[in-house]
């Protein structure tokens, strides 16, 4: 049996950012990741420019966009600015870069699946028991730590994604409430491939025909569905708290992603850092998690109103994206 002050389950952006701050604070930390390699994750890799204020180097990104297209009700609106609006990143590259930012001293187990959680210990798939003072569940939308805490997930986004080995120039999002309800299709160009996908709220009853509608939309955009590998992963956006005694939830495990856009990388990085800071200094008030929650509430309340009211007008769409959505955290 080994004992650590903090054990982190999950080597995504939430777990890696927590490990970095805790290691700098001198804690004895173990990070456990079930995959063999840190980084890969089903994700479109879209970043709103606010993430660069978190210290992410722009050179790490695949593509940068000073303009993008929004399609709604058969209308095309181009959002353009002098400053950077959006970028795309390869998740493997992001994970490996974040791993490299962690100072020495953090132990990392890859290819290790956590199978059971107890009050002050956990079990790995090789039956090894690990003891902890604090546990951080940074284990994504299907979090085992969240299950251990008995927190049900009712608000889930359903996604479908195909990465196609073709270069596209323009980043585009398509709202089509008649077919997919509260969600959107996306085209996110990367360096040597393009992510095509769709996201919708599972509660809106549009999941059954989602695959069919996705295929039709791909065809309209000149893409044969069979060209790419279909992938899918849920996004939990059902926040029910992040601090439960000696257990914390970060990123998607906590449900911090946006229920409107499915964006969750920034929230994962920020919440991992905030939780680590709280472990180092229990009086720390986690102001940035509060900020995430305020923004999340506004976005999720806007929901369909955004699609039906704001996106009908070029002026309001421009205002929404440039003055609010893409402004700094």
Instruction: Note whether 113 binds ligand FAD by CB under 6 A.
Output: yes
How many chain residues interact with ligand FAD (CB under 6 A)?
A: 37
Distance CA 327, CA 329 (A): 7
Stretch that binds ligand FAD, among 68-76, 96-104, 245-253, 277-285 (CB under 6 A): 245-253
User: What does the angle CA 310 – CA 314 – CA 319 come to, to the nearest 5 degrees?
Assistant: 65
Q: Which residue among 4, 33, 183, 187 contacts ligand FAD (CB under 6 A)?
A: 33
Q: How far is the CB of 263 from ligand FAD (least distance, A)?
A: 4
Q: Which residue among 264, 270, 274, 276 contacts ligand FAD (CB under 6 A)?
A: 264
Cβ nearer to ligand FAD, comparing 202 with 314: 202
Stretch that binds ligand FAD, among 214-222, 249-257, 312-320, 321-329 (CB under 6 A): 249-257
Q: What is the DSSP string of 200-214?
A: EEGGGS-STTHHHHH
CB 12 within 8 A of CB 140: yes
Q: Which residue among 9, 171, 247, 310 contacts ligand FAD (CB under 6 A)?
A: 9
Stretch that binds ligand FAD, among 7-15, 23-31, 59-67, 128-136 (CB under 6 A): 7-15
Task: Quote the strand ranges of 138-289, DSSP E.
Answer: 156-164, 172-175, 183-189, 194-201, 229-231, 235-236, 243-244, 247-249
Q: How far is the CB of 283 from ligand FAD (least distance, A)?
A: 25
Q: What residues contact 102, with CB distance under 8 A and at least 6 apart?
A: 16, 19, 20, 23
Distance CA 114, CA 306 (A): 40
Q: Which residue among 20, 61, 90, 161 contacts ligand FAD (CB under 6 A)?
A: 161
CB 175 within 8 A of CB 311: yes
Judged by the rule CB under 6 A, the positions of this chain that interact with ligand FAD are 9-15, 32-35, 41-46, 113-114, 138-140, 144, 159, 161, 197, 233, 235, 251-253, 257, 262-265, 268
């Amino acid at each position: 049996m080994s004992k650590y002050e903090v054990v982190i389950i999950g080597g995504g952006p939430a777990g890696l950012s927590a490990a970095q701050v805790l290691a700098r604070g001198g804690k004895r930390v173990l990070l456990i990741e079930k995959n063999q390699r840190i980084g890969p994750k089903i994700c479109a890799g879209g970043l709103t420019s606010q993430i660069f204020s978190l210290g992410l180097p722009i050179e790490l990104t695949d593509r940068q966009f000073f303009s993008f297209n929004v399609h709604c009700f058969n209308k095309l609106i181009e959002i353009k600015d002098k400053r950077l609006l959006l970028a795309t990143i390869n998740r493997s590259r992001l994970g490996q870069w974040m791993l490299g930012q962690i100072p020495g001293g953090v132990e990392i187990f890859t290819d290790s699946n956590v199978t059971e959680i107890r009050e002050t210990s956990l079990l790995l798939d090789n039956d090894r028991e690990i003891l902890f003072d604090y546990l951080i569940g940074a284990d994504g939308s299907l979090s085992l730590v969240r299950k251990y805490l008995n927190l049900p997930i009712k608000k889930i986004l359903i996604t479908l994604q195909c990465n196609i080995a073709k270069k596209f120039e323009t980043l585009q999002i398509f709202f089509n409430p008649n077919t997919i309800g509260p969600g959107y299709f996306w085209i996110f160009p990367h360096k040597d491939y393009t992510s095509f996908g769709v996201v919708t709220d599972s509660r809106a009853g549009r999941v059954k025909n989602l695959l069919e509608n996705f295929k039709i939309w791909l065809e309209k955009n000149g893409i044969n569905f069979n060209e790419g590998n279909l992938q899918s992963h849920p996004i939990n956006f059902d926040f029910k708290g992040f601090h439960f005694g000696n257990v914390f939830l970060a990123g998607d495990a906590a449900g911090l992603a946006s229920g409107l856009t499915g964006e969750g990388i920034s929230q994962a990085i920020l919440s991992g850092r905030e939780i680590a800071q709280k472990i180092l200094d229990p009086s720390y008030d986690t102001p940035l998690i509060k900020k995430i929650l305020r923004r999340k509430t506004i976005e999720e309340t806007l929901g369909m109103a955004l699609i039906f009211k704001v996106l009908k007008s070029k002026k309001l769409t421009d205002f929404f994206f440039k003055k609010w959505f893409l402004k700094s955290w």
